[in-house]
A and B are shown apart, each in its own frame.
With several copies, the nearest count.
Chain A
Amino acid sequence: MKDIYTSFQEAVRDIEDYSTIMVGGFGLVGIPENLILALVESNAKHLTVISNNCGVDDWGLGLLLQNKQIDKMIGSYVGENKEFERQVIEGELEVELVPQGTLAERIRAGGAGIPAFYTPAGVGTPIAEGKEVRTFDGKEYLLQTGLTADYSLVRAAKGDKHGNLIYNKTARNFNPMMAAAGATTIAEVEKLVEPGTLDPDHIHTPGIYVQSLIEGQQEKRIERLTLAKQA
């Protein structure tokens, strides 16, 4: 029932200029590495990208930046990237910063048909500018709207051909909500298996949210290798 690709170029072929794209991952963990590389190659421009971070200069979403494919970035922390800074200062790149928990919840809301919700995060801060403030039980909250995307690019450890996905450890992060919030969700999986192979109680992303899958191998670069001192 799902499109199963063998070429990453083909998997992202339909992504057009001016698309809004969600990209899973936290830092470089859980990012759909090969889909991003293919998107760079596709040269789709004027993208709005929703992702917690924006990669590093030479990897992940940083590659889209280098190639000047992003018009607007919606994220919570974009501090690992010099080219990002340059484009913002030069006015080439628009940025919308969203508190991380609000970002996660806005994406969840988008996928779950919730147009808006209230959250305490950001009350009394620059984030509140232009936003409705409302008091519930004596505490102030901001109104935040749901986020959806034309395409969501996610990465999972395992996927079956019905689109069910299982993530590994902290590589889960934003991927499940994004899978649900994309009109078209493309999943890059480390291992593609037959339906029935995965335990139905262990599925993190039900297949209904996923339109196509492709198996690929990731580099899984480590940003901050921190080791215990050998005893």
Chain B
Amino acid sequence: MAVNLDKATVREKIARRAEQEIESGFYVNLGIGMPTMVANYIQPDKQVVLQSENGLLGIGRSPYEDEVDPDLINAGKETVTASVGASYCDSAESFGMIRGEHLDLAILGGMEVSETGNLANWMIPGKMIKGMGGAMDIVHGSKKVVIIMDHVNKYGEPKILKECSLPLTGKGVVNRIITDRAVIDVKEGGLELVEVGEGWTIDEIKDCTGAGLKVHEDLYETKQ
């Protein structure tokens, strides 16, 4: 049975599930928007270093008013602080770090994901193009790329598809998709449903997914 939750609750739910992808000791890049929220839910016992592609390895919490430094922002252009043991670098080094696969995990937003792990998340033809920013580099640069997004668009249509209809950000780059309804892995042979959200059935997930889904043998419901 479908579940109706307000938007903020949905976003928090997705962010909390995404947090479970982060292991202690990981270096992680969180994309702009909902992925940035994931930082708020990182368990305090995990030692995690967040990278910001504008040249900060070790993003700290938001600053108190008297701590604000206009020279210190994250890739979303929000004021931040640096964590203990952080370091700054230039953008070439920062993306060398990304492209060289030194990050353990990247969590990014998505518009569409295909069954072969193609990702579209940067432009809609006919709309003004704002630019891809660092997304096209980041999808190639992490040991694991996790996309977090709503399972369907505002018209109720699937965002997980056989083929993306939008221009790609990267080809064959996604490892896992986390939505408000399910967790799906991109495998050699196609998509695999690994978790079903509370209140949803396997068949309902299949119905709102635009590509074939194998069901993982140890499928379990998402714990909140």
Say whether A associates with B. Answer: yes
Docked complex Cα distance between A113 and B51 (Å): 17
Give the shortest distance, in Å, between A209 (CB) and chain B (any CB).
6
Contacts of B90 in A (CB 8 A): 104, 172-177, 204
Interface flags for A110-124 (1: CB within 8 Å of B; 0: not) read 111110000111111
Let me know if B168 is at the binding interface, CB within 8 A.
Answer: yes
A195 and B85 in contact (CB under 8 A), knowing A100-B133, A100-B134, A121-B140?
A: yes
Interface of A is mostly: loop
Docked complex Cα distance between A120 and B128 (Å): 25
Give the interface of A toward B (CB within 8 A): 1, 26-30, 52, 75-79, 85, 88-89, 95, 97, 99-105, 107-108, 110-114, 119-127, 140, 157, 160-162, 164, 167-177, 180-181, 195-196, 200-201, 203-204, 206-209, 220-228, 230
Contact between B87 and A224, CB atoms less than 8 A apart: no
A225 and B136 in contact (CB under 8 A), knowing A169-B82, A200-B86, A207-B57?
A: no
Docked complex Cα distance between A157 and B79 (Å): 18
Let me know if B199 is at the binding interface, CB within 8 A.
Answer: no
Give the interface of B toward A (CB within 8 A): 24-25, 27, 47, 49, 51-58, 61-65, 68-73, 75-80, 82, 84-103, 118, 123, 128-138, 140-141, 167-172
List 20 A-B pairs, Cβ < 8 Å: A26-B54, A29-B72, A100-B132, A101-B137, A104-B92, A113-B99, A113-B140, A121-B137, A124-B171, A125-B170, A169-B69, A170-B55, A174-B91, A177-B91, A195-B85, A206-B57, A207-B57, A207-B87, A228-B62, A230-B64
Contacts of A176 in B (CB 8 A): 90, 92
Contact between A208 and B57, CB atoms less than 8 A apart: yes
Contacts of B80 in A (CB 8 A): 226
Contact between A227 and B63, CB atoms less than 8 A apart: yes
Contact between B99 and A120, CB atoms less than 8 A apart: yes
Docked complex Cα distance between A171 and B56 (Å): 10
Contact between A224 and B79, CB atoms less than 8 A apart: yes
Contacts of A52 in B (CB 8 A): 91
Give the shortest distance, in Å, between A197 (CB) and chain B (any CB).
9
Contacts of A162 in B (CB 8 A): 49, 58, 85
Contacts of A113 in B (CB 8 A): 96, 98-101, 140-141
Give the shortest distance, in Å, between A124 (CB) and chain B (any CB).
3
Contacts of B135 in A (CB 8 A): 99
Contact between B168 and A77, CB atoms less than 8 A apart: no
Contacts of A173 in B (CB 8 A): 54-55, 90-91
Which residue from B76, B79, B100, B136 sits with its C-beta under 8 Å from A112?
B100
